[in-house]
Structure formats: structure tokens, C-alpha cells
Amino acid sequence: MSALVVPAPTSARQLSKPTLWLTAGVSAFVAFGVFGVLMAAGISEGFNIVAAVFASAILFVLLSYVMSRIVEGRRKAADRLATGLVTTAFIVALLPLISLIWTALVNGLPRFDALFFSSSMRNVVGEGGGGLHAIIGTLEITLAATIISVPIGIMTAIYLVEYGKGRLAKAITFFVDVMTGIPSIVAGLFAFALFAIFFGPGIRFGIGGAVALSILMIPVVVRSTEEMLKLVPNELREASYALGVPKWLTIVKIVIPTAIGGIITGVMLSISRIIGETAPLLIIVGMSTSMNYNLFSDRMATLPVFVYTQYASQGSDAQAYIDRAWTGALVLILIVMALNLIARLVSKLLAPKGLR
Amino acid sequence: MSKRIEVKDLNVYYGKFKAVEDVSLTIEPRTVTAFIGPSGCGKSTFLRTLNRMHEVIPGASVQGEVLIDGKNLYDADVDPVMVRRQVGMVFQRPNPFPTMSIKDNVLAGVKLNNGKISKSDADHLVEKSLKGANLWKEVRDRLDLPGSGLSGGQQQRLCIARAIAVSPEVILMDEPCSALDPISTLAIEDLIEELKAKYTIVIVTHNMQQASRVSDKTAFFNIAGTGEPGKLIEFDDTTTIFENPHVQATEDYISGRFG
């Protein structure tokens, strides 16, 4: 007999796919059953689907762990438990999001009609009316904020990555980080105080809102662009220098084109960050029921403030106001979603083929 | 077209750390000079001082003189950008620009520097440079595809084509074959042999067979210990260095007794 003992191949006994599906089915059945009984008994009001899904997931993780422990052994069971916990955490993170979008859809769809997109709230009390003025206002103010923030933000990032060294660069990085944490209301008050100096107290106009929003936007643009520029391999810069290309041309023609996909994604994300801001706009832009295309004079409506005022000061027909508020929220979500999709598309199209 | 390089009493620093001490040597035009030596002995650092790429690294500085046809590169009135147009460089890892096609990679130096070049001139230059780098036959029907799609050896030859497209006087190569397989290495070595007719070539290599195959002169660098500056130990004809070195350390190194 040989002294060498060949280790047995890993345990052939494994939980089969159908068994696992069955376990999942049983868990779901039990969890939904329990919540169904609770509802029938009148303990909970209505069927709590979120809690039921969550309970099924937990039950499934526990059941499969126990079964795996018995059939497959400790290592496999631990593996299943870890996978299960990570997946459950993912579901927990996702549930509020899905729930939010679902609620916005259900409540927003009733007024998601042509009238909403073709009329303002001018002379509307009760039913009818729409949010066109708010959509235009949001788009104009956000666009203005982007035009202000993107050049400043990108140039700051270029300075920090390509030129900055020593105390100044460290100080800028520090203050950019501090700026990321500025409460939006403070940005609004800053813009209000700033413009009050020039135009007297009580000034309200769109461009002031754009300035307030760019204070919130600049640090996000700086941070994301900085990260993207750092990702550009140093070898490319050196290759360009070695060809006798000056530094500024290297940055413009080599570094930025290589990072452009990521920079655009960062800019789009920063737009999503500020497009839903309410507080600063409430202070410096105010609210209007009429259409105002002019950023530089008079109050403007914006979607977040539109949602807020519709909900906060309901008129005689309360339901009409609440419906408009939900539709406004839904439109805002859709705009952000569209922006993100565009960002993904653009960064995919522009990303250099070799790097990703 | 190619030029003589004279280095006089050159010290190279990273911040306060002296990386290379007291190097003096003369590189003749239209020759291949190889730098050999153990890792960290400062041969790449020294190479980078020959086209002022060294100072790209923050805190790096140089003392002494590098004369190209009598003109000191480190004079106050010399623009490093102009130096690099005369002294091209090929790096250890192939680094074609990922955003550009093969053709644009070759034209990068010309296009980025003065912008305008007529289409026929451009096509001519691309063909000439790629032929010069022995790559034309392999890529002529896919000039508009990204350069990063080529194999490692092809990418490295693309980088050489890019370097010779700006018609430099001198080409520096920093371990150009260390990331390549033997076949690609052979292709690059053949290319160096051809390029010698027109350019002055300086190559850093860890491969002593390669140094003995391609170079006319060899410089051996060594380092006394960690934290000590690297020094030029011996500089002579390649045959002398490999067959009959004057310094014991050189013999120890090339015969594989250390390093």
C-alpha cells in the first residue's frame, strides 16, 4: 500500500438547482403567508409587500445555510451564507429606490398629460394647469449653473492634477472638500446676500439661483474630474513630452481626450446632484405661477419649488394640487434618469478603446 | 543629421538624493551605445537627462553639462521642449495614445506641435515612418484602427515610428524590449541596426546579450549600495567590455557573478 493518501475529490454531494429554487419558493410562500395572515387578522393595514420580500430573502438565506451545512459541509455553507447576506444587503438598498419610483409613478401618472407639459399655473386655481414654466425654469437655471461650474471645476481639477504642488494645492483640495459639505441652504443665502449688495434687498432672479447651485456643483465637478485625470497613465504624458509637445498641448490633446468619457459622466452626475435642490432656489429665485424665460429678471418657477408649493399651499381642490406635485416630482426623476442615460452613452462612445 | 553627445561631470538628483554621480562620456554620431548595469544604478535616470525628460519628475534636478554638438542642453536659454524634438525617446512599456488611430499616433508629434500638414505629406510621412519602424507591411490596411489594438511588439514599433516621425537627431531607448517576446525583440533589434545608419541611438538594457548584439559601445553603471549614487564604472567598445574589461566589477557583472 502506498503511504500517500490521495485526498478524496471535493464532496460530490451538492444542493441541486431545483432544490434551491424549491427552498426559495417555500421561503416566499411562508413569508407571504405570514403577512397575509397578519393582514387577514387585521393586525396590519393592507398587505406589506416590501416587508414580505425582505422576510422571504432572510428566510431563504437561513434555510439554505442550514441545508447546505447538512448536505455540503461547513465551507460551502459559509460561502452560501456570505453570498446570501451580500445579496440581501443589495436588496435592502434597492427596495426604497424601487418603492420610491413606484410611488412617484402611481401618484404622478394621473396628471402626466399633455396639459401638464403645455401650460403654466397662470390664473389656475383648482384643476388643470401644468408645470411647463417650472420645467423651463429648472432647465434654464441648471444649464446656467452648468455653464458657470464646468469650466471652473475642470480647470481647477487640471490645476490640481497637472500643475499644483505644495501648500496652495493642498489648501484648494481641503476647501473643495469642505465645499462638498456646504448645506444647500447656505449656498442659497450666500447668493442672496451677494446679489443683495448689488441690487438691493429682496432681489429675486434665475441667475442668482444658478450661482447658488454652482457653489454646490463646482466641488463635485472638481472631485470627479480630478479622479479621472489621475487615472490617465503618466506614460502617455511622458510619451507626449518626449515628442517635444509642450505641457499645455499635452493636457489639451492627450490627457483630456483620454479622460473625457469619465469627465462627462462626472459632470452629468453633478447636474443630477443639483437639479433637485429646493432650498437655495426658494430663497434667491422665489416662485412664480407664470412663464418667465428671462434668467436675469423676476422670479422663476423651478420643478423642486413647484412640487413644494403645490403641496404646501393647496387650494380649494386639494387633490388637484397634490396630483400636480407628484407629477412634478415624476418629471424631475425622469429628467435625472435621462441625463444619466445620456451620460453613460456619451462616455461609452468617447472612451478610448484600449483602456476599458 | 545625427549628432555627437558629450556629457561632462553630470550629477543627477531626485530632491536632495543624488542618484547618479559624476558621469562623463562621449557618444559618437551614428553609433549604438548601450547602458548596462544592475537595477537602480541610475542608467535610466541618466538616459532621461539626455533629453531633459528627467526634470518632468517633481523635485528632480541636474548638475553638469550635456553638450549636443557643442551646445549645452542645460543652458538657461534652452527650451526643454525644443530639446525633446531633437532627442526622441522610446519607453520601456509601449505607450501608444489610446485615443488615436495608428496613423494619428505616427503623426502625433507633428500634428500636436504645428497643427497643419497636408494630407499627401501626412500619408507620405506615415508610410515613411512606419517603413522605418518595420511596421508598414503589418498595418498598412488598418491605419485608421486604434493603435492599442496591436500586439505588444507592434505597439513598441509603432512608438518607434512615432519617435522617428518628428525626425530627431538622437533616439533614446529605455529598455525597449523588456516587455516583449523574443520574436518582437528580434524585430526591434534588427530595426536598431537599420536606424543606426541615420540616427545616434542610446539604449538601456538589462539583457547583456542584447547589449553585445546591437551596440558599438557599452557603458557599465554600478551602485555601491542602497542610498548611494550610481556611477559610471567603465565605458568602452562593446567587444572590449565583453571580452576584455579593465575593471573587475565589470567582469563580475557580465560574467554573472553578481547583479
CATH class of residue range B5-95+171-254: alpha beta
Query: Which pLDDT score is estimated for A251?
Result: 93
Per DSSP, what are the bridge partners of residue B90?
B173
For A356, nearest residue in chain B (alpha carbons)? B98
CB A284 within 8 A of CB A188: yes
Please tell me whether residues A78 and A149 are part of one structural domain: no
pLDDT at A11 over 80: no
CB B177 within 8 A of CB B184: yes
The structure's pTM equals: 0.82
Q: Chain B residues within 8 A (CB-CB) of chain A?
A: 51, 53, 56, 58, 81-86, 88-89, 91, 93, 95-99, 108-109, 112-113, 146-149, 159, 162-163, 166
Please tell me whether residues A351 and A274 are part of one structural domain: yes
Query: Which pLDDT score is estimated for A73?
Result: 84
Mean pLDDT over A82-107 rounds to 90
CB A205 within 8 A of CB A300: yes
Q: Is A250 on the interface with B (CB under 8 A)?
A: yes
CB B26 within 8 A of CB B217: no
Evaluate the CA torsion angle B203, B209, B212, B217 in order and state its sign: positive
Phi, psi of A113 (to 5 degrees): -125, 175
CB A321 within 8 A of CB A125: no
Min Cα separation B45/chain A (Å): 14
Residue A249 Cα to chain centre, angstroms: 34
* A interface test, pick of B54, B89, B95, B164 with most A CB neighbours within 10 Å: B95
pLDDT category of residue A1 using cuts at 50, 70 and 90: very low
Mean pLDDT of chain A: 88
Give the strand pairing for B60-68 and B71-72.
antiparallel
A249 in any annotated domain = yes
Q: Residue A241: which of B56, B98, B148 has the nearest Cβ?
A: B56
Please tell me whether residues A164 and A285 are part of one structural domain: yes
pLDDT category of residue A12 using cuts at 50, 70 and 90: low
pLDDT in tens, B121-158: 889 989 988 988 888 988 989 888 888 888 888 898 89
CA–CA distance, A134 with A343 (Å, rounded to integer): 23
Query: Which pLDDT score is estimated for A164?
Result: 85
* DSSP 8-state code for residue B222: E
pLDDT category of residue B99 using cuts at 50, 70 and 90: confident
B230-237 sheet: strands from edge to edge: B71-72, B60-68, B5-14, B17-27, B230-237, B217-223, B32-36, B200-204, B170-174, B87-90
For A258, nearest residue in chain B (alpha carbons)? B99
pLDDT in tens, A104-127: 999 999 889 999 999 888 888 888
Chain A neighbors of B129, CB-CB under 8 A: none
Grid cell for residue B257:
557573478
CA–CA distance, A190 with B92 (Å, rounded to integer): 52
pLDDT in tens, A179-219: 999 999 999 999 999 999 999 888 899 999 999 999 999 99
Chain B neighbors of A237, CB-CB under 8 A: 56
Q: Give the percent of chain A with pLDDT over 90.
A: 49
Chain A neighbors of B167, CB-CB under 8 A: none
Interface touch B88/A240, C-beta < 8 Å: no
CA–CA distance, B124 with B106 (Å, rounded to integer): 11
Query: Which pLDDT score is estimated for A285?
Result: 92
| Cα separations in angstroms, B154 against A114, A243, B47, B102, B210 | 59, 19, 24, 11, 19
Phi, psi of B23 (to 5 degrees): -95, 130
Interface touch B146/A352, C-beta < 8 Å: yes
Min Cα separation B22/chain A (Å): 25
CA–CA distance, B226 with B38 (Å, rounded to integer): 12
Chain A neighbors of B148, CB-CB under 8 A: 352-355
Min Cα separation A249/chain B (Å): 7
- CA atoms within 13 Å, Cβ hemisphere of A12: 2
Element (H, E) at A237: helix A234-242
For B111, nearest residue in chain A (alpha carbons)? A245
Name residues 152-171 of chain A within 8 A of B (Cβ).
165
Chain A neighbors of B97, CB-CB under 8 A: 236, 239-240, 254, 258
pLDDT category of residue A165 using cuts at 50, 70 and 90: confident
pLDDT in tens, B34-78: 999 888 888 889 999 998 998 888 888 888 889 988 888 888 888
A208 in any annotated domain = yes
| Cα separations in angstroms, A170 against A6, A16, A161, A215 | 61, 57, 11, 20
SS3 B223: strand
CB B178 within 8 A of CB B206: yes
Q: In terms of Cα–Cα distance, which of A79, A99, A58 is closest to A14?
A: A79
pLDDT at B109 over 80: yes
Grid cell for residue A317:
381642490
CB B249 within 8 A of CB B222: yes
Please tell me whether residues A155 and A54 are part of one structural domain: no
Grid cell for residue A236:
502617455
Min Cα separation B132/chain A (Å): 17
Interface touch B97/A165, C-beta < 8 Å: no
Per DSSP, what are the bridge partners of residue B173?
B90, B203
* Structural domain boundaries, residue A50: 17-109
CA–CA distance, B135 with A41 (Å, rounded to integer): 80
pLDDT in tens, A238-294: 999 999 889 999 999 899 999 988 899 899 989 998 999 999 999 999 898 888 888
Q: Which of A109, A144, A172 is the last residue of a domain?
A: A109
pLDDT category of residue B224 using cuts at 50, 70 and 90: confident
A221 in any annotated domain = yes
Interface touch A244/B109, C-beta < 8 Å: yes
**CATH number for the domain that contains residue A188:** 1.10.3720.10
Please state, as a whole number, how many other Cβ atoms lie within 10 Å of the Cβ of residue A282: 18
Please tell me whether residues A39 and A143 are part of one structural domain: no
- CA atoms within 13 Å, Cβ hemisphere of B214: 33
CA–CA distance, B242 with B94 (Å, rounded to integer): 29
Q: Is A248 on the interface with B (CB under 8 A)?
A: no
| Cα separations in angstroms, A83 against A50, A51, A61 | 21, 21, 9
Interface touch A243/B159, C-beta < 8 Å: no
A226 in any annotated domain = yes
For A257, nearest residue in chain B (alpha carbons)? B99
Work out how many domains chain A is built from and give that number. Answer: 2
Q: Is A36 on the interface with B (CB under 8 A)?
A: no
CA–CA distance, A212 with A37 (Å, rounded to integer): 52
Please tell me whether residues A226 and A282 are part of one structural domain: yes
Interface touch B166/A249, C-beta < 8 Å: no
Q: Residue B56: which of A238, A258, A355 has the nearest Cβ?
A: A238
SS3 A320: helix
Mean pLDDT of chain B: 88
A117 in any annotated domain = no
pLDDT at A355 over 50: no
Min Cα separation B175/chain A (Å): 14
pLDDT at A4 over 90: no
Query: Which pLDDT score is estimated for A177?
Result: 92
Mean pLDDT over A1-22 rounds to 67
Min Cα separation B53/chain A (Å): 7
By 3-state DSSP, what share of chain A in percent is helix, strand and coil, each rounded to 5? 75, 0, 25
Min Cα separation B92/chain A (Å): 10
**Burial status of residue B12 (CB atoms within 10 A of its CB: 0-12, 13-18, 19 or more):** buried
CA–CA distance, A39 with A334 (Å, rounded to integer): 34
H runs (alpha helix) in B115-247: 119-132, 136-139, 152-165, 182-195, 208-214, 238-243
For A252, nearest residue in chain B (alpha carbons)? B112
* DSSP 8-state code for residue B247: S
Interface touch B113/A354, C-beta < 8 Å: no
Per DSSP, what are the bridge partners of residue B33?
B202, B217
Give the strand pairing for B87-90 and B71-72.
unpaired
Please tell me whether residues A155 and A187 are part of one structural domain: yes
pLDDT category of residue A7 using cuts at 50, 70 and 90: low
pLDDT category of residue B173 using cuts at 50, 70 and 90: very high
Please tell me whether residues A242 and A336 are part of one structural domain: yes
- CA atoms within 13 Å, Cβ hemisphere of B200: 19
How many inter-chain contacts (A to B, CB under 8 Å) are there? 85
pLDDT at B204 over 80: yes
A287 in any annotated domain = yes
Please tell me whether residues A93 and A140 are part of one structural domain: no
* DSSP 8-state code for residue A314: -
CA–CA distance, B33 with B26 (Å, rounded to integer): 10
Please tell me whether residues A300 and A335 are part of one structural domain: yes
Query: Which pLDDT score is estimated for A105?
Result: 94
Q: Residue B88: which of A238, A242, A250 has the nearest Cβ?
A: A242
Assign residue A46 a region (left: φ > 0; alpha: ψ between -120 and 50; beta: otherwise): left
Per DSSP, what are the bridge partners of residue B204?
B35, B174
Q: Is A241 on the interface with B (CB under 8 A)?
A: yes
Chain A neighbors of B154, CB-CB under 8 A: none
CA–CA distance, A123 with A16 (Å, rounded to integer): 67
For B91, nearest residue in chain A (alpha carbons)? A239
Q: Where are the domains of chain B?
A: 5-95+171-254
CA–CA distance, A92 with A95 (Å, rounded to integer): 5
Interface touch B113/A233, C-beta < 8 Å: no
Query: Which pLDDT score is estimated for B259?
Result: 52
CB B56 within 8 A of CB A241: yes
CB A157 within 8 A of CB A221: yes
CA–CA distance, A324 with A129 (Å, rounded to integer): 8
